[in-house]
Amino acid sequence: MQAKLFLFSVAAILLFFVSSLFLHAAESGEINISKDGKVSLKNAQVFQRAGTNFYTRIYWGEVFLRVTVVTSADTKIEKRHGEKAAVTDIKEGDYLDIEGKFPSSSDSFIIHATSIVNSSLEKESLETRGTILSVVPDKDEFTMRTHRGTIITVTVNGAAMKKGIIPIGTAKLKSGDKVTFAAGTYDFSTKVLAASRVDVYQDPGAFAPHNFQGKIKSMEGTTLPTTMVVALTSKEYTVRLSPSTKILKNNKKPTTLSRFQVGDTVRFYGAVREDDLSIVDNVEVMRNFDL
């Protein structure tokens, strides 16, 4: 009987507010009450905290209804887009969607919350992948179309970023690069991902042995094993020659490194090192076109 009287009182209060709705601005809050006392609130604004409980208001224009929200260890709390949250994440001014039930008896509007969605919490953890559209090295950021089709901005700012296994900066990125994994804190309101980690696809074909051609810039020694720096059109490589590297003249006949000079044009066959793109290892043949 007491519960029925309570529900009747609540219904009378709600009738007043619903009737007032037509005299004020459009509805900004919503209340639904089932016959068994279950309650659903939409857009309840927190105006005061009391430990793990909250005093909220449901507004209709200038009219509002005060609702006390009681939480427990069993209350499920989420951010706007589904990530798990804690009661301590709820702040004054936040807007909540609440599911719960009335206590067995009460002389005020109290809800024991079973679930709360904090629609004010727009920042959530995110893992994604996609294709880079543009890069702004000065801001340490890039834009990316994700695999879901959303265009987002990724801010690096010290995040662990690698291309393959090599650490890189945004200056090494370009339009069309594939981001295989990006993780961090995503702001749904601004579509900005503050990244903690970014992995960029590296074509393994870049590390397959192939021919290189350029001019000798410097030589460490004239006997094997040794290294030399060779300048190609747009890049320099440190070339490591092993004891088994074949040293040839232009006509492919054997010669010695002692005949090589800085400025000579050479062609060599080897593989770029995966952990250092400036080094060519496992050079099988070094051929001097100027001999």
CA separation, residue 251 to residues 239, 254, 289 (Å): 22, 9, 8
Domain count, the chain: 3
Q: Are residues 132 and 108 in the same domain?
A: no
Which tens digits make up the pLDDT trace of 224-256? 999 999 999 888 999 999 999 999 999 999 999
Tokens 């070339």 -> residue: 239
- Indicate which CATH number applies to the domain containing 250: 2.40.50.140
Lowest mean pLDDT among 27-31, 133-137, 160-164, 179-183: 27-31
Tokens 């209340």 correspond to 31
Residue 2 pLDDT exceeds 80: no
Residue 205's contacts (CB-CB under 8 Å, 6 or more residues apart) are none
Q: Are residues 12 and 91 in the same domain?
A: yes
- Sole residue written with tokens 């400036």: 278
pLDDT score for 191: 95
Same structural domain for residues 197 and 213? no
In this structure, the answer to whether residues 190 and 232 fall within a common structural domain is no
Give pLDDT tens digits for 259-270.
Answer: 999 999 999 999
CA distances from 143 to 146, 172, 179 (A): 10, 14, 11
Residue 23 has pLDDT above 60, yes or no: no
Position with higher pLDDT, 280 vs 27: 280
Domain that residue 254 falls in: 209-288
pTM attached to this predicted model: 0.66
Q: What is the pLDDT of residues 167-219, one digit of tens each?
A: 989 998 999 999 999 999 999 999 999 999 999 998 888 788 999 999 999 99
- Domain stops at, among 183, 202, 221: 202
Question: What CATH number is given to the structural domain containing 164?
Answer: 2.40.50.320
Q: Which helix (H) or strand (E) holds 97?
A: strand 95-101
For residue 47, what is the domain's CATH number?
Answer: 2.40.50
pLDDT band at 73 (very low <50, low <70, confident <90, very high): very high
Write down the mean pLDDT value for the chain. 87
Rounded Cα distance, 154 and 139, in Å: 10
- 113 lies in the same domain as 24: yes
| Helix H or strand E segment including 11 | helix 2-21
Tokens for 84, please give them.
């798990």
Give the end of a domain, one of 162, 187, 202: 202
Whether the predicted pLDDT of 279 surpasses 90: yes
Show which of 166, 183, 202 is a domain's final residue: 202
